[in-house]
């Protein structure tokens, strides 16, 4: 006797439902751990992951101390190659007879930034996860001449005189002053403040603040 045909039941459906449930569960756990930042949820997340949560002291004194650790934050280096003239003349003779003149190729640099050790607690305002910081004024820390890359290009002396031994050093000093003036006129202090604001902003976001304003 022939038995009636019974269609074979497929197990694909329950298996796919099981896989989908696993994926949704994993996604829920990830979202939970990502947003469990405080309170009971944070403690549960710590227990699940087995790792201690990282917390920061975001009180004003602690934040000021962390910023002050950056100390003299150098944020801009202004380099310049230029030609500068130095000369001396005789009080009684024309330059052809008693003058001394040189041309010097000068390479130097100015470094600017902000001395964050000057930050005071009253410069920092904290409201929950928001912080407002007013930085100290930007400064031109130093201007130097690179003696290895600075040289006398040309020099001429009068027929009745010899080269003045002090003229080269005096010309280097003038070049250093000129480099500093050029750096200031080109806005080195503004650039230094802008770069310092970016650095401090990154630091504060790293401490867990959600809204950061650095002026």
Q: Output DSSP code: residue 128.
A: T
Tokens of 126: 């904290």
Strand partners, 57: none
Strand partners, 131: 126, 212
Tokens of 47: 């227990």
Both 27 and 102 in one domain: the answer is no
Query: Tell me, what's the pLDDT at 17?
Result: 66
Strand partners, 127: 130
- Percent of the chain at pLDDT > 70 equals 68
Q: How much is the average pLDDT of 4-14?
A: 53
Tell whether the model's pLDDT for residue 212 goes beyond 70: yes
Both 133 and 98 in one domain: the answer is yes
Q: Are 189 and 114 in contact (CB under 8 A)?
A: no
Residue 5 belongs to some domain of the structure: no
Domain carrying residue 35: 12-49
Q: Are 179 and 144 in contact (CB under 8 A)?
A: no
How far apart CA 186 and CA 180 sit, in angstroms, is: 10
Both 90 and 177 in one domain: the answer is yes
Domain count of the chain?
Answer: 2
Residue 6 belongs to some domain of the structure: no
Q: What is the pLDDT of residues 118-142, one digit of tens each?
A: 999 999 999 989 999 999 999 999 9
How far apart CA 82 and CA 145 sit, in angstroms, is: 11
Residue 54 belongs to some domain of the structure: no
DSSP of 147-172:
GGG-EEEEEEE-TT----TTHHHHHH
Both 98 and 175 in one domain: the answer is yes
Q: Are 96 and 80 in contact (CB under 8 A)?
A: no
Both 161 and 109 in one domain: the answer is yes
Query: Tell me, what's the pLDDT at 2?
Result: 44
How far apart CA 136 and CA 114 sit, in angstroms, is: 7
Average pLDDT, whole number, for the chain? Answer: 78
Residue 1 belongs to some domain of the structure: no
Both 171 and 121 in one domain: the answer is yes
Query: Tell me, what's the pLDDT at 1?
Result: 45
Both 76 and 22 in one domain: the answer is no
Comparing 159 with 193, the larger pLDDT belongs to 193
Residue 74 belongs to some domain of the structure: yes
Residue 100 belongs to some domain of the structure: yes
Query: Tell me, what's the pLDDT at 40?
Result: 47
Q: What is the pLDDT of residues 77-118, one digit of tens each?
A: 998 888 888 777 666 677 666 567 878 888 999 999 999 999
With the CA atoms of 116, 117, 118 and 123 taken in that order, what torsion angle do they form, in degrees rounded to the nearest 10? 70
Range with the largest mean pLDDT of 24-38, 154-168, 192-206? 192-206
Please tell me the number of Cα atoms within 13 Å of 16 on its side-chain side.
Answer: 4
Both 78 and 134 in one domain: the answer is yes
Query: Tell me, what's the pLDDT at 173?
Result: 87
Residue 55 belongs to some domain of the structure: no
Q: Which of 171-175, 197-201, 202-206 is least confident?
A: 171-175
Alpha helices in 36-71 (DSSP H): 39-49, 60-68
Cβ neighbours around 175 below 10 Å, total = 23
At 105, phi and psi to the nearest 5? -90, 120
Query: Tell me, what's the pLDDT at 3?
Result: 46
Both 84 and 175 in one domain: the answer is yes
Query: Tell me, what's the pLDDT at 131?
Result: 93
Query: Tell me, what's the pLDDT at 52?
Result: 46
Element (H, E) at 101: strand 100-115
Both 137 and 175 in one domain: the answer is yes
Both 22 and 76 in one domain: the answer is no
Query: Tell me, what's the pLDDT at 187?
Result: 94
Both 70 and 44 in one domain: the answer is no
Q: What is the pLDDT of residues 33-84, one digit of tens each?
A: 455 554 544 555 455 555 444 566 778 888 888 888 888 999 999 988 888 8
Residue 130 belongs to some domain of the structure: yes
């Amino acid at each position: 006797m022939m038995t009636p045909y019974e269609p074979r039941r497929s197990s694909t459906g329950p298996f796919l439902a099981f896989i989908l449930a696993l994926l949704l569960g994993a996604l829920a756990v990830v979202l939970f751990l990502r947003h469990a930042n405080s309170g009971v949820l944070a403690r549960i997340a710590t227990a699940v992951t087995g790792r201690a949560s990282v917390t920061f002291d975001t009180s004003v004194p602690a934040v000021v101390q962390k910023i002050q650790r950056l100390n003299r934050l150098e944020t801009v280096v202004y380099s310049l190659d230029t030609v500068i003239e130095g000369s001396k003349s005789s009080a009684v003779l024309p330059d052809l007879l008693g003058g001394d003149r040189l041309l010097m190729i000068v390479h130097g640099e100015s470094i600017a930034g902000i001395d964050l050790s000057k930050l005071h607690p009253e410069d920092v305002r904290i409201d929950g996860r928001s912080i407002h910081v007013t930085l100290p004024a930007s400064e031109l820390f130093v201007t130097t001449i690179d003696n290895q890359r600075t040289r006398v290009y040309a020099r001429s002396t009068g027929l009745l005189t010899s080269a003045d031994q002090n003229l080269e050093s005096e010309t280097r000093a003038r070049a250093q002053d000129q480099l500093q003036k050029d750096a200031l006129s080109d806005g080195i202090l503004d650039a230094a403040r802008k770069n310092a604001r970016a650095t401090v902003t990154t630091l504060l976001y790293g401490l867990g603040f959600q809204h950061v304003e650095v002026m």
